[in-house]
C-alpha cells in the first residue's frame, strides 16, 4: 500500500512538473501555427499571438508554465520571425526588438501568474469561507431541529399526562390548557380560551376560587382551592385547583402553572362519612327515645306488677275455702301503697317532660341567621341547594333564647331543603328577616319546592302530622311551641315561586 | 336424692331487686299454698343455693350486678337443673329469644296474670319432679351396676348386645353353664324381670359406655 501510494505521489509530482511545460508547449505551438496564415493579413501578428499564449499559459498553468511559455516564445520568435529567419542568430537591427520581446514576455508571464495566484488564493479563501458557512448553517439547522424535537416531546408529555394542567400569563390570563383539561371541559382543540373560568367553576365555589386567585396574584405566591368544575357533559366534579408561579431570572413572575386534581371520590367518601354520622346521630336520638320509653315502662310496670299480684293474692285470701281476713286486709293495704307508688312514677315522668321556660337574652336575629348559614353550608352542598340571605339592614334586637330560635330556623331550613329534594337545578333556599311589622321582627324561610297546600297550612303545625316518609311529625310542632313560648306566631304561606314560605314574628325590643 | 323420702318442700325461688314485687308474688303464692323464698339479687340466690333445692326459679331478667340472663347461663354451665321462669318489665324480643334458647321454661311480661304465673309454676314444678325422678332412677341403676362383678359386667354387656349364651361362652372362654349362672346373677342384682327390662336399664344408664369387647378375638 505504501509502495503504491508513494508511486502514485511520484506520478503526481511528475505530472505537476510536466503539466506547465505541456501547457506552454501546446499554446506556443498554436500561436506559431496561427502566426503564418495571419502574416498575410496584418504585420507582426506573432507578437500578439505569443503574448496571448504566454498570458493563457501563465493563467492556466501558473508561474512555471508562464516562464516556460515566455522562454519558448522567445526562442521560437528568434528562430522563425527575427532576421535572419530560420536561424538562432539575431540580426543587429533586430536585437533591441528581440530584447524588448523577451522582457515583455517574462514580465507578462510574471504579472499574469501573480494575478492568477492572487485570484486563486481569493477563490480558495472564498471556497473555504463558503464551506464554513455551509457547515455552520447545517449545525444550526441540526440544533434547531433538536430543539424543536425536544419541545415537541415536552408538549406531548404535557398533553399525554393524565392530569389537567394549564398555564397562565403573569397577569393570570389563561394561555394554555392541556388536552385532558380541554377534553374534560369539552373544548375543541383549537377553541380559544377566553376568560371562561367563571363559567366552568360552580357558582357557589367561584367566590372562593376568585379570592384565592386574587390573593395569589397579589402576593405572587402559590394557591389552592377546592372547587366543583363542570365537565363538558354538564356534570360537576370536585377538584383541588393548585397554581404555582414560575419565576423568570429577575424574580418576576413569568407564568403561572396550574394543576387540577380530581378529588371527587375523596369528597364523596367525606360526604358518605358525614351522612353516616348524621344517620348515626338520628339513630341514637331514636334509640334514646326508645330507651326512655323502656325505662318509663319499667318504672311503671314494677309497681303495677306488685299491685296486680297483691290484688290476685287478696282475691285468694278472700276465697271461702281459705278465708283469711287478716291477710286480705294487709294485702289491700299493700295494694294502696303500690298504687300510690305507681302514680308517683307517673308524676315523676311528667315532671321530666315539663316544658322549661326559655333562657332569654338579647338576640340579634341577623347574626343568628348568618351563623345558621354557616351551619347549613355542608348540608346545602350535599343537597346541591343554594342558600340566599335577605336580611333587613336595620333590625331591632329582641329577647329570646338563641339556641331555641336557631333550632326553629334549622328545622325550617332543613324542611325547606327536604322539600326541594329531587330538583335538578335552581334549588334555592332563602332565609330573610324584615322589620315590616312595627314592634316585631319577622323571620322567614322560603324554598322553591312544591309548597304546602292551603288546606294543610294549619295542620302541619300539629304534633305527629307528617307528609314525609321518615318524618316524626314533631319538627314543626316543636317550632310552633318554641315560637309561641317566645310570644310569637308562626305561619306558612305560598311563596311567589310556588314554594313554601314559613314566617314567624317575634316581639322586638322597644 | 330419693324423691319419695323426706326432701325439702318444693319452693318458688323469687329473684327480683324490687322488694315489693317479691312481696306481692310471695303473698299471692302463699295464698295459693305455694312456698316461696325471695332474693334481692342473683348473687344472693347463688350463695344460698343447695343442690337439693326443689321447685323453680322465678327470675327477673334485669338485676343489679349479675343479670338474670347471666345467672341462667351459670346454672346451665354448672348443671343445675332448676327450671327457670323469667320475668321482665319490658319485653325485649332479643332477650326473650336468648333466654328461651338457653332453656328457660317461660317468659312472663310484668304485670302478668295470675293464671299465667300459676300455670308456669306448675309446669316448672312438673318438670323439676320429672327431672328429679329421672335423676333418682339413674342414680339407682348406677348403684346397681356398681354392685356387679367384673365378669358379670362382661356378661351383661354381651347379653344386652343381643348375643347368645353360646357365643358369650366362646368369647369369654368359659362354659355355657357358667354364662347362664352369671346371667341369672346379673338379672337378680339389676332387679330386672326380663331381658327387655335389663336392656332398658342399661340404655338409661348409658351402659356400656364403651362398645362391648366383641372384637376381642
The full DSSP string for chain B is: --TTSSPPPEEEEEE-S-HHHHHHHHHHHHHTT-EEEEESSHHHHHHH--TT-EEEEEEES--SSS-HHHHHHHHHHTT----EEEEESS--HHHHHHHHHTT-SEEEESS--HHHHHHHHHHHHHHHHHHHHHHHHHHHHHHHHHHS-HHHHHHHHHHHTT--HHHHHHHHTS-HHHHHHHHHHHHHHTT-SSHHHHHHHHHHHT-SSS--GGGG-
For residue range B106-156, list pLDDT tens digits in order: 888 888 889 999 999 999 999 999 988 888 888 888 888 888 888 888 888
- Domain architecture of chain B: domains with CATH: 11-136 (3.40.50.2300), 147-205 (1.10.10.10)
Q: Give mean pLDDT, residues A318-341.
A: 90
The mean pLDDT value for A412-428 works out to 83
The strand order across the sheet containing B54-60 reads B35-39, B10-15, B54-60, B84-88, B106-109
CA-wise closest residue to A120 among A70, A61, A64: A61
Within 8 A of B18 by CB-CB distance, chain A residues are 302, 306
Residues pairing with A240 in the sheet: A226, A261
- Helix/strand/coil for A333: helix
At residue A290, the pLDDT reads 60
Which pLDDT does position A192 carry in this prediction?
Answer: 67
- Mean pLDDT on B153-161: 88
Residues of chain A found within 8 Å of residue B32, distances taken between Cβ atoms: 316
Q: Which residue of A has its CA nearest to B88?
A: A298
Please, what is the average pLDDT of chain A?
83
User: Could you give the C-alpha distances from A178 to A147, A164, A216, A257, A424, in angstroms and in order?
Assistant: 21, 6, 22, 11, 31
Q: What is the pLDDT of residues A332-367, one digit of tens each?
A: 999 998 898 888 878 876 765 655 556 678 888 998
Mean pLDDT across chain B: 84
Report the pLDDT value the prediction gives residue A156, as an integer from 0 to 100.
83
Mutate to test the interface with A, among B18, B24, B86, B116 (most CBs of A within 10 A): B24
Q: Which of residues 11-30 of B touch A (CB under 8 A)?
A: 18, 20-21, 23-25, 27-28, 30
pLDDT of the residue at A331: 92
Place of cell 330556623: A409
**Which pLDDT does position B172 carry in this prediction?**
87
Q: Please tell me if residue A324 touches chain B, with a CB cutoff of 8 Å.
A: yes
Min Cα distance B190 → chain A (Å) is: 48
- List pLDDT tens digits, range A358-382: 667 888 899 889 888 877 887 788 7
A328, A370 contact by CB (below 8 A): no
| C-alpha A88 chain-centroid distance | 103
For A427, other C-beta atoms within 10 Å of its C-beta total 22
In the block, which residue shows the cell 530584447?
Answer: A99
Q: Please state the φ and ψ torsions of residue A65, each to the nearest 5 degrees.
A: -60, -40
Peptide bond before B208: cis, by omega within 30 degrees of 0? yes
Most confidently modeled of A34-48, A60-74, A260-274, B27-41?
B27-41
Whether the predicted pLDDT of B15 surpasses 50: yes
Q: How confident is the model at residue B98 (pLDDT cuts 50, 70, 90)?
A: confident
What lies within 8 Å, CB to CB, of A62 at 6+ separation is A20, A113, A116, A117
Partners of residue A302 in chain B, C-beta under 8 Å: 18, 20-21, 89, 110
Using a CB–CB cutoff of 8 Å, tell me whether A312 touches chain B: yes
pLDDT confidence tier of residue A328, bands split at 50, 70 and 90: very high
- pLDDT score at A504: 92
Cβ separation A301–B112 shorter than 8 A? no
- Please tell me the distance from the alpha carbon of residue B149 to that of residue A2, in angstroms, as a whole number: 129
| pLDDT band at A472; cut points 50, 70, 90 | low
- Give Cα separations from B24 to A308, B28, B38 (angstroms): 8, 6, 11
* pLDDT score for A353: 60
Evaluated on CA atoms A28, A33, A35, A41, the torsion sign reads negative
Interface test with B, best of A287, A290, A294, A302 (most B CBs within 10 A): A302
Cell of A1: 500500500
Whether residues A313 and B20 touch (CB distance < 8 A) is answered with no
Q: Which pLDDT score is estimated for A298?
A: 73
**Closest of A41, A325, A218 to residue B31, by C-alpha:** A325
Nearest CA in chain A to B62: A298
> By the 8 A CB rule, do B165 and B176 touch?
yes
Asked whether the beta carbons of residue A338 and residue B20 sit closer than 8 angstroms, the reply is yes
Beta carbons of A295 and B88 less than 8 angstroms apart: no
Amino acid at each position: 500500500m505504501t509502495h503504491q501510494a508513494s508511486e502514485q505521489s511520484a506520478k503526481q509530482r511528475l505530472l505537476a512538473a510536466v503539466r506547465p511545460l505541456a501547457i506552454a508547449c501546446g499554446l506556443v505551438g498554436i500561436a506559431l501555427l496561427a502566426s503564418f496564415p495571419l502574416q498575410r493579413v496584418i504585420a507582426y501578428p506573432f507578437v500578439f499571438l505569443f503574448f496571448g499564449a504566454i498570458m493563457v499559459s501563465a493563467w492556466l498553468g501558473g508561474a512555471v508554465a508562464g516562464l516556460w511559455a515566455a522562454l519558448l516564445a522567445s526562442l521560437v520568435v528568434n528562430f522563425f520571425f527575427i532576421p535572419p529567419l530560420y536561424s538562432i542568430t539575431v540580426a543587429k537591427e533586430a536585437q533591441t526588438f528581440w530584447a524588448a520581446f523577451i522582457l515583455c514576455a517574462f514580465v507578462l508571464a510574471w504579472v499574469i501568474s501573480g494575478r492568477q495566484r492572487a485570484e486563486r488564493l481569493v477563490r480558495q479563501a472564498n471556497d473555504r469561507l463558503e464551506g464554513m458557512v455551509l457547515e455552520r448553517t447545517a449545525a444550526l439547522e441540526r440544533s434547531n431541529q433538536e430543539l424543536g424535537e425536544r419541545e415537541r416531546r415536552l408538549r406531548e408529555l404535557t398533553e399525554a399526562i393524565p392530569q389537567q394542567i394549564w398555564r397562565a400569563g403573569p397577569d393570570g390570563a389563561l394561555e394554555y390548557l392541556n388536552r385532558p383539561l380541554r377534553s374534560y371541559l369539552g373544548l375543541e382543540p383549537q377553541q380559544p380560551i377566553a376568560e371562561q373560568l367563571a363559567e366552568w367553576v360552580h357558582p357557589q365555589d367561584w367566590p372562593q376560587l376568585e379570592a384565592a386567585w386574587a390573593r395569589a396574584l397579589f402576593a405572587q405566591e402559590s394557591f389552592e382551592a377546592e372547587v366543583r368544575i363542570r365537565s363538558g357533559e354538564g356534570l360537576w366534579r370536585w377538584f383541588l385547583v393548585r397554581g404555582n408561579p414560575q419565576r423568570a431570572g429577575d424574580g418576576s413572575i413569568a407564568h403561572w402553572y396550574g394543576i387540577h386534581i380530581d378529588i371527587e371520590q375523596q369528597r364523596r367518601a367525606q360526604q358518605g362519612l358525614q351522612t353516616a354520622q348524621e344517620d348515626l346521630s338520628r339513630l341514637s336520638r331514636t334509640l334514646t327515645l326508645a330507651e326512655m320509653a323502656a325505662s318509663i315502662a319499667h318504672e311503671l310496670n314494677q309497681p303495677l306488677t306488685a299491685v296486680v299480684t297483691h290484688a290476685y293474692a287478696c282475691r285468694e285470701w278472700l276465697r271461702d275455702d281459705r278465708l283469711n281476713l287478716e291477710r286480705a286486709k294487709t294485702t289491700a293495704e299493700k295494694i294502696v301503697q303500690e298504687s300510690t307508688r305507681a302514680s308517683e312514677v307517673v308524676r315523676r315522668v311528667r315532671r321530666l317532660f315539663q316544658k322549661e321556660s326559655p333562657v332569654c337574652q338579647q338576640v340579634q336575629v341577623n347574626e343568628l341567621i348568618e351563623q345558621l348559614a354557616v351551619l347549613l353550608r355542608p348540608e346545602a352542598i350535599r343537597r346541591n341547594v343554594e342558600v340566599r340571605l335577605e336580611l333587613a339592614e336595620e333590625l331591632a334586637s329582641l329577647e329570646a333564647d338563641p339556641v331555641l330560635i336557631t333550632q326553629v330556623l334549622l328545622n325550617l331550613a332543613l324542611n325547606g331543603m327536604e322539600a326541594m329534594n329531587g330538583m335538578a337545578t335552581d334549588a334555592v333556599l332563602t332565609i330573610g328577616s324584615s322589620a315590616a311589622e312595627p314592634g316585631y321582627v319577622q323571620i322567614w324561610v322560603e324554598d322553591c319546592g312544591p309548597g304546602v297546600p292551603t288546606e294543610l297550612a294549619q295542620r302541619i303545625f300539629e304534633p305527629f302530622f307528617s307528609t314525609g316518609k321518615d318524618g316524626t311529625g314533631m319538627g314543626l310542632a316543636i317550632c310552633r311551641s318554641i315560637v309561641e313560648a317566645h310570644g310569637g306566631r308562626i305561619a306558612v304561606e305560598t311563596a311567589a315561586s310556588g314554594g313554601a314560605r314559613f314566617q314567624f314574628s317575634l316581639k322586638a325590643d322597644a | 336424692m330419693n324423691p319419695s323420702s323426706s326432701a325439702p318442700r318444693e319452693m318458688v325461688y323469687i329473684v327480683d331487686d324490687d322488694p315489693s314485687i317479691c312481696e306481692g308474688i310471695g303473698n299471692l303464692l302463699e295464698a295459693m299454698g305455694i312456698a316461696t323464698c325471695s332474693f334481692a339479687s342473683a348473687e344472693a340466690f347463688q350463695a344460698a343455693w343447695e343442690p337439693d333445692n326443689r321447685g323453680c326459679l322465678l327470675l327477673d331478667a334485669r338485676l343489679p350486678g349479675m343479670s338474670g340472663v347471666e345467672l341462667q347461663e351459670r346454672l346451665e354451665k354448672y348443671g343445675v337443673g332448676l327450671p327457670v321462669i323469667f320475668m321482665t318489665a319490658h319485653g325485649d324480643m332479643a332477650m326473650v329469644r336468648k333466654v328461651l334458647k338457653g332453656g328457660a321454661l317461660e317468659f312472663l311480661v310484668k304485670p302478668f296474670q295470675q293464671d299465667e304465673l300459676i300455670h308456669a309454676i306448675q309446669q316448672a314444678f312438673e318438670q323439676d319432679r320429672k327431672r328429679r325422678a329421672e335423676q333418682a332412677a339413674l342414680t339407682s341403676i348406677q348403684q346397681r351396676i356398681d354392685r356387679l362383678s367384673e365378669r358379670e359386667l362382661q356378661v351383661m354387656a354381651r347379653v344386652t348386645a343381643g348375643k347368645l349364651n353360646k357365643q358369650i361362652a366362646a368369647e369369654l372362654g368359659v362354659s355355657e353353664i357358667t354364662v347362664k349362672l352369671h346371667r341369672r346373677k346379673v338379672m337378680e342384682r339389676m332387679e330386672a324381670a326380663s331381658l327387655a327390662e335389663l336392656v332398658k336399664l342399661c340404655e338409661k344408664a348409658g351402659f356400656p359406655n364403651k362398645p362391648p369387647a366383641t372384637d376381642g378375638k
